[in-house]
Structure 1
């Protein structure tokens, strides 16, 4: 007997809630994305997140904990060895990543890889370093437009990113080059989690703007996840944002691309107004991409406030037999040094209009609580080799 007919899992990408016990091993000291955002701004208005228990997870300067939440709240620890998007999302759906994906933050990509990429694509590579996506456009886009060269760069994530001007380089040519890069980076020594096409428009410095035609070429998950189990059982698995890219389409029945995190919430609200049976899995990337990596706590706080406004609409849209889970995939403390993600525990907020109880949950030992709880609700067995235990009987 299903407890909920529809489950919505919303990932506030990078909204960590405090350092984990092993954060020092990842170079992260005293990090706390949510808490430090609050400390860095004068005002922080999140009434809907507050009533779900968000302010009970870590002290917030402007927001008091709630005495009686509308649902259940707690935090989850990451079991996998990593602090990146794919590791976090794959673990949510049951996969423990024991070997971190390769990064080339300090060195850029090896000459052998660059040489093969140039030969296969027909474009000379420029860049080949870790950089901000907006800064590298101001630096190198004029050269790319004038010469047809190809901007390749990385970040603190396990990614190879290629920029292409939609008017001069061409979108299809950019995608072709990214497919070649994905093939090359399947080699163990070059294996990155994602190759990302970064299209942009504009003609001169100060005018360049990335477009929503981004496309991620991710590794396929190394095993079956809760998403596969749900799909194989005939349930709907609707992805919003970059979820489909993160799982390379595995276990997804319908994929919606988002132009922004606000747009992603609008799509989620629209989906909640439809009739479906299964899971709606949402990633809202702007918290991470626009504010966390750019170390902008003020921008991050405003993004959370915009999310909270949309959350109010979604809460009013939910049906009696819906379950909403709000979480994150890692931290990205915008007050910390560097531009990297931070190793943190993440929120786990659960609410349904039909809930009779509320309160704090014990901290979960893995993000996979989410996939296991979802599968349990629908009476679906988790695939062999997955991790995680359900808390379905605790959130009633």
Structure 2
């Protein structure tokens, strides 16, 4: 069979926006799927104590918070440190090799401890003491409880340690244990959008992949989730070196494709075939997503999602399309950002600014997401330290722009 050949001229920003939208399952193709299926198809959901994992699953499959929390409790999905050491919500089939990808980041803090006079053997002993303590406990324990229980085994590193972000030896031990799958972090109230955790013992079977194979698997998943990305974009997400990235791309047989804008995208061979036959949808497909949604975050290319006429739009004197990461959440139609939103819990409603007069489909979707936030979440936090007070100026700015 002759491989598909894509014309550079046809790979316009408009087509590629719709293609990424489709690959992310935001076109309704994931409706009714499980949380694990959605994360496998669309990509791991970034979790920084915010509500993005919930909206990721609601937008694509209509999954409500109660089901997501049950899936977390049942270990069908879980929040783990993986690529670049960042925490994402993963499906259970990805737990072991996902932790393997993040192992180097877990080891990195020990370099700081070594400069403070901490030997590796001290941390190894502390790891064993933490694990023993958790196995003996009938309930998960938070860091303060562990510190109190372990006493002098947890060493304070003084003012110098605080300056370097290592007040005691406990966080490094916890990070290493978690990276090994020997303990796991549990949200205290069962919710992913609240940054209060405890730890419990775990016995996750180790990954059967070597490091090269694990990197190749992540690159394969990443290209499948995005529908294609530049080398630089893939490196940002994975944290791999150029040599590691190129080896992984070769291992999955990725093809380099030139676009009308001059970018070179790496794509899986099957996606080259699919894109050659892809036709963008004609009807509106409206979604409200988090600023850290996989559609935006995996490639950090939100600027590509604005139409030319909207690239100069500003919020609080900042040109939105020029930001590496969105400060507000996007309203999108088939991959194009057509507006921005924040949730105002005081008024129990969404403050939205659409760049053009909202259509009936836009108004309907805003109302649906607004009702879902009220009923399921109570608020929509971007990250752990987000609060209604901290985002009030942005809420006011969006309401002013929308009026």
Give the TM interval when normalised to the shorter protein.
under 0.3
Q: Give the TM-score taking structure 2 as reference length.
A: 0.25
- Which structure carries more strand by proportion? 1
- Which structure carries more helix by proportion? 2
Higher relative contact order (CA 8 A, sep 6+): 1
